Amino acid sequence: MPDCQEVKAGLPASLAVLEGKSGDSLTLSVDVNDMQFPYSVVFESRTIIFGFVDRSETLPDLQPGTYVVSWAFSHRSKGWKHELTARLGQGAAKVLDSRSEENRDNPFAAGSAVICIQ
């Protein structure tokens, strides 16, 4: 069983680490507008969400271990935005990535987060 504090200690501070307990579900949700290119959200090398519109997927019954969630977005249309959130069990949703043209963010985004289940 992983010690999430030890996992965090070995990672850059800028990398999000979400902690949960055995049996928790992980819900990944994406809110986008006017996508010209498909975005993707990957869990442990498996594409969970791939598309052009808002989507949400739940991975049930996570077992103890350390997992990686990765994502990529590319925007071209005027007024673009995206937000990716993750929720473990009944906990509050955590924003993993949120960008928009309005905030003058880079229209190309890729990132990762670590899920630690004890």
Distances (CA, A) of 92 to 23, 54, 80, 106, 107: 17, 19, 26, 27, 27
Q: What is the pLDDT of residue 1?
A: 66
Dist. CA 111–CA 61, nearest whole Å = 24
Q: Read off the pTM.
A: 0.93
- Domain ranges within the chain, ordered by starting residue: 4-117
With a cut of 50, which residues of the chain have pLDDT below it?
Answer: none
The mean of the pLDDT values for the chain is 95
Q: What is the pLDDT of residue 72?
A: 98
The number of helix segments (H) and strand segments (E) in the chain equals 1, 9
The runs of H, that is alpha helices, within the chain are 4-9
